């Protein structure tokens, strides 16, 4: 409980989290777990961005895998076909996807609820089909190979440990920027839009501008994650960026707890490592995943992190009551 409330004051939570990330490698014995940690970090970056859009602003996206994929493919293609350095790949991807997301975001974010869900889902599928069909660029379904390993400013990140720390730097940077955004005029405007678009606009909040703005920002996070992924895995196949992955991302946000950045990281960590736990179930993996989704939504609609927090609080108040009664009787 204490630990949870420390996490509430963002900056001390941030420092604690940084220390945790720094020390984590010393507890990891095996390369395979490094791999999982790196993927968790990459997914966390996307999910933090998605949470800003979905959890804080209340706008759903079922197509975020596409922007992740665009980040990965743009840097991958530049690297594999024209030997561009990774940093150039990142910048080009950020600019292209930023402009694209801006142009798409204007008409898309006028939609609400299920319509917005279907529009973003459609976008995701269209981009996925482009990954598959633009053979000459993407390598099509058989995949894109020959992506150079990550090197920045003359340093090559070729060990799992160094890549882990690289991902951590980006994760912490994204997290810090997001904490700042959330606790600012912008963050309040976003949550106001979530609460009531009409009330927000009556107070002068330019609703469509802020919605498109946060949409673009969240796609830029996804692009950064895609860039980290491409230079880590060095092989891209469209199936990593399909509809199911978009669903998985939104599930991470929802299960982790909508509108909580720590929840986003928690959700990403849980769902990324879940398949590792579910290996015990083998063939049952998909159905168990579906079942968990349903159960969490029914019993902890505020997400697991908040759900657990509520549970702990309830336990504590029960204990207190119990103690009080005992002291009264004695």
Q: Contacts with other proteins in 143-182 (CB under 8 A)?
A: 177-178, 180-181
Query: Does 5 contact other proteins by CB under 8 A?
Result: no
79 versus 240: smaller Cβ distance to other proteins: 240
Q: Is 313 in the site for other proteins (CB under 8 A)?
A: no
Of 89 and 105, the one with the shorter C-beta distance to other proteins is 105
Do 268 and 40 touch, CB atoms closer than 8 A?
yes
Give min distance, CB of 100 to other proteins, in A. Answer: 14
Tell the smallest beta-carbon distance from residue 144 to other proteins (Å): 17
Element counts in the chain: helices (H) and strands (E): 15, 2
Regarding 81 and contact with other proteins (CB under 8 A), the answer is: no
CA-wise closest residue to 132 among 122, 123, 141: 141
Which of 3, 29, 294, 328 touches other proteins by CB under 8 A? 294
Nearest to 291 by CA among 299, 253, 245: 299
Which residue, 40 or 53, has its beta carbon nearer to other proteins? 53
CA distance 205 to 22: 40
| x-marked contacts with other proteins along 90-129 as a string, rule CB under 8 A | -----------------xx-xx-xxx-xxx-xxx-xx--x
Centre a 10 Å sphere on the Cβ of residue 65 and count the other Cβ atoms it contains. 27
Residues 256-285 that bind other proteins (CB under 8 A): 258-259, 283-285
Calpha distance 227→97 (Å, rounded): 12
Q: Provide the 3-class DSSP secondary structure of residue 156.
A: strand
DSSP E strand stretches across the chain: 151-152, 155-156
Please say whether the beta carbons of 70 and 226 come within 8 A. yes
Specify the residue, 184 or 317, whose C-beta has the smaller distance to other proteins. Answer: 184
Q: Using CB under 8 A, which residues numbered 220 to 239 contact other proteins? A: none
Chain residues 175-214 in contact with other proteins, contact rule CB under 8 A: 177-178, 180-181, 184-189, 191-192, 194-196, 198-207, 213-214
Give the integer Cα–Cα distance in Å for 323 and 317.
10
Shortest spacing between CB 79 and other proteins, in angstroms: 25
Q: How far is the CB of 171 from other proteins (least distance, A)?
A: 15
Q: Minimal distance in Å, beta carbon 247 to other proteins?
A: 6
User: What CA–CA distances, in Å, run from 38 to 179, 241, 312?
Assistant: 22, 17, 30
> Which residues from 17-46 bind other proteins, rule CB under 8 A?
none
Q: Taking a C-beta distance cutoff of 8 angstroms, is the pair 37, 199 a contact?
A: no
């Amino acid at each position: 409980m204490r630990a949870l409330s420390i996490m509430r004051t963002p900056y001390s939570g941030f420092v604690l989290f940084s220390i945790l990330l720094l020390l984590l490698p010393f507890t990891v014995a095996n390369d395979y777990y490094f791999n999982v940690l790196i993927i968790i970090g990459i997914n966390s970056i996307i999910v933090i961005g998605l949470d800003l859009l979905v959890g804080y602003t209340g706008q759903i996206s079922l197509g975020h895998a596409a922007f992740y994929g665009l980040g990965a493919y743009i840097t991958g293609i530049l690297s594999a076909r024209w030997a561009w350095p990774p940093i150039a790949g990142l910048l080009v991807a950020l600019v292209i996807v930023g402009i694209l997301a801006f142009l798409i975001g204007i008409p898309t974010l006028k939609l609400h609820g299920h319509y917005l869900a279907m529009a973003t889902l459609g976008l995701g599928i269209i981009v996925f089909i482009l990954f598959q069909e633009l053979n000459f660029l993407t390598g099509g379904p058989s995949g894109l190979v020959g992506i150079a390993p990550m090197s920045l400013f003359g340093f090559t990140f070729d060990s799992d440990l160094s890549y882990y720390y690289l991902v951590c730097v980006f994760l912490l940077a994204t997290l810090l920027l997001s904490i700042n955004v959330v606790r600012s005029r912008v963050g309040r405007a976003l949550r106001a839009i979530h609460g009531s678009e009409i009330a927000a606009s009556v107070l002068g909040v330019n609703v469509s501008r802020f919605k498109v703005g946060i949409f673009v920002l969240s796609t830029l996070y996804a692009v950064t994650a895609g860039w980290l992924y491409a230079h880590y895995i060095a092989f891209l196949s469209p199936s990593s960026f399909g509809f199911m992955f978009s669903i998985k991302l939104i599930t991470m946000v929802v299960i982790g707890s909508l509108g909580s950045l720590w929840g986003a990281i928690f959700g990403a960590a849980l769902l990324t490592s879940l398949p590792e736990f579910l290996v015990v179930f083998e063939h049952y993996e998909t159905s168990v995943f579906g079942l968990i989704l349903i159960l969490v939504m029914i019993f902890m609609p505020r997400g697991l992190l908040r759900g657990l927090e509520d549970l702990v609080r309830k336990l504590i108040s029960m204990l207190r009551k119990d103690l009080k009664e005992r002291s009264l009787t004695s």
